[in-house]
Amino acid sequence: MIGLLKSLATTMKHALDGEVYTVAYPDEVPKVSPRFRGVHKFSQERCIWCRQCEKVCPNDTIQIVMDDKRNGEQYNLHIGQCVYCRLCEEVCPTDAILLTQNFEFTGDTKSELVYNKEQLKAVPWYKDIDPLEVREPDRGGWVGEGDGEVDYQ
């Protein structure tokens, strides 16, 4: 009984302290954690078609199609079945595939949630936040690091 009263007191304390934890979306744009994992963005210019992302993905979310000369033709990602483990991003040696913080995507059918490389290239950063800048990784030895801005298109 005492435990119940304590939990009720805690609930009432937080209910009446004036803090608001919800936002009136979509009129108000919510903040998301820097670690939030949203829809992927792909850079064809950075991709070397090594297929490591496809191999590491635990549930075949990524399918890459290459021609007989090993040139990349298709990069498809079934966002509807992704578990957002971020393994594809971690294994990519060139930062060609990144999970943005963008959660604003919908689809009525499964096929609408299969994104091809053109759709993945067009995924916008959420609030212009580049996740690599937020996470500040040590990218010194990675391919593609340069002085200029990275073009993810």
Contact status, residue 99 vs residue 37, Cβ threshold 8 Å:
yes
Q: Does 84 bind ligand SF4 (CB under 6 A)?
A: yes
Q: Return the range that interacts with ligand SF4 (CB under 6 A); candidates 5-13, 44-52, 130-138, 145-153.
A: 44-52
129 touches ligand SF4 (CB under 6 A): no
**HEC per residue, 85-147:** CCHHHHHCCCCCEEECCCCCCCCCCHHHHEECHHHHHCCCCHHHCCHHHHHCCCCCCCCCCCC
The size of the interface with ligand SF4 (CB under 6 A), counted in residues, is: 26
- Residue of 38, 41, 62, 126 that binds ligand SF4 (CB under 6 A): 62
- CA 99 to CA 18: how far, in whole Å? 34
Tell me the three state secondary structure of residue 77. Answer: strand
- Contact between 83 and ligand SF4 by CB under 6 A: the answer reads yes
Determine if 39 is a binding residue for ligand SF4 (CB under 6 A).
no
Residues lying near ligand SF4 in the complex (CB under 6 A): 47-53, 56-59, 61-62, 77, 82-88, 91-92, 94, 96-97
